[in-house]
Amino acid sequence: MQTNLRGRDLICDLDLTKEEVETVLDVAWDLKRKRALGEPHAYLRDKTLGMLFFFSSTRTRCSFEAGMAQLGGHAAFIESKTTQIAHGDTAKEIGEILGRYFDGIAIRHCDWDYGNKYINWVAEASRSPVLNMQCDLYHPFQCLADLMTIIEKKGRDLRGKKMVVSWAYASSYLKPMSVPQSLILQMGRFGLDITLAYPPGFELMPAIVDEAKAQARRYGTGFEIVHDMDAAFKDADIVYAKSWGPMLATTDPGEGKALQDEHARWITDERRMALAKPDAIYMHPLPADRDIEVTSGVMDGPNSVVFDQAENRLHAQKAVMALTMW
């Protein structure tokens, strides 16, 4: 167990070593057990977390607020548009000031080519740890909850198991690419063979793909890229299919929507799930575009673990807060 996490930021998934991630998961399972048994675990009594949102949220806000309350502390919701941030407060000023008010700062900022930079600028100025609740590049807390869920369903020895990280069609908006990027960076370190699938135009950032390949080589796991959804699903143990925008091709919403609409058949349905192994699990960070991105039959079916994923956001986030903010 690693015990050197106090005061640490978590902005990129690789900010934590594999051993430190294992510590986070061990603490998360302990906190989950305590929560189930009604055992008090107020490790952050009188501590405060400032939660700064530039991008709307349901699960993220609720799980961080509930988690801080269960740890004995308090979370303050800060909406960027209704504060002086909208009128001139800089990232440096936010880091300097909120870092003095709060024992931790959590930020969600998904604007393309800016969100991650902003979070890092705040972290440079803050005396308190800064936690990335999602940016344009990474979603580390979702990824920790996903890893926790996979181990619960498939066991600790994941070597040789195939995980598909696939693009899927959605009609609502151009979703960030942070989830698939975090997944390909993290999961190979824990033994999973990754198949990344997407249609042309929906590539992930080359530097992150290169780093994912380097992690796969380091840990002796597989990493491949395919452009056929059916081929990707074949014999999969874990199916993680969600939409993301064609950000490397265009950031224009209209042009991006037109590109997405060309691939409306990239849906996770019962036929495709049948290509995977019979005990394959279906994962999605939610919200999903029902019957567009994934059929209701799959999302609500026996292979789906999406609600366990959502619950594990609470426990994984509590673990990181307890380890970094005490």
Continuous H helices in the chain: 18-37, 59-70, 91-101, 115-125, 140-154, 178-186, 206-219, 229-233, 253-261, 270-273, 296-299, 306-325
pLDDT given for residue 17 in this prediction: 97
pLDDT per residue as tens digits for the range 180-217: 999 999 999 999 999 999 999 999 999 999 999 999 99
pLDDT exceeds cutoff 90 at 326:
yes
Nearest 5°: phi and psi at 242? -150, 165
The token duo for 222 is: 């597989």
pLDDT given for residue 127 in this prediction: 98
Whether the ω angle into residue 246 lies within 30 degrees of 0, i.e. cis, is no
Nearest 5°: phi and psi at 89? -60, 125
CB distance 94 to 114 below 8 Å: no
The token duo for 158 is: 């994941």
pLDDT given for residue 173 in this prediction: 87
pLDDT given for residue 56 in this prediction: 87
pLDDT per residue as tens digits for the range 16-50: 999 999 999 999 999 999 999 999 999 999 999 99
Residues in CB range of 220: below 8 A, 6 or more apart: none
DSSP 266-303: --B-HHHHTTS-TTPEEE--S---BTTTB-HHHHTSTT
Cα within 13 Å of Cα(272), Cβ side:
26
CB distance 193 to 184 below 8 Å: no
Closest C-alpha to 190, from 219, 148, 162? 219
* In this structure, CATH architecture of domain 13-139+313-325: 3-Layer(aba) Sandwich (3.40)
Q: Report the C-alpha gap between 286 and 175 in whole angstroms.
A: 11
Q: Report the C-alpha gap between 176 and 142 in whole angstroms.
A: 13
pLDDT exceeds cutoff 90 at 314:
yes
∠ CA 157-216-319, nearest 5°, is 55
Q: What mean pLDDT is predicted for residues 145-164?
A: 98
- CATH topology agreement for domains 13-139+313-325 and 141-309: yes
pLDDT given for residue 242 in this prediction: 98
Question: 141-309: CATH homologous superfamily?
Answer: Aspartate/ornithine carbamoyltransferase (3.40.50.1370)
pLDDT given for residue 33 in this prediction: 98
CB atoms within 10 A of CB 206: 9
Closest C-alpha to 60, from 239, 242, 310, 230? 310
The amino acid sitting at 233 is F
Q: Percent of the chain beyond pLDDT 90? A: 98
Q: Report the C-alpha gap between 199 and 249 in whole angstroms.
A: 12
- The full set of domain ranges for the chain reads 13-139+313-325, 141-309
pLDDT exceeds cutoff 90 at 52:
yes
Q: What mean pLDDT is predicted for residues 269-289?
A: 98
The token duo for 94 is: 């936010």
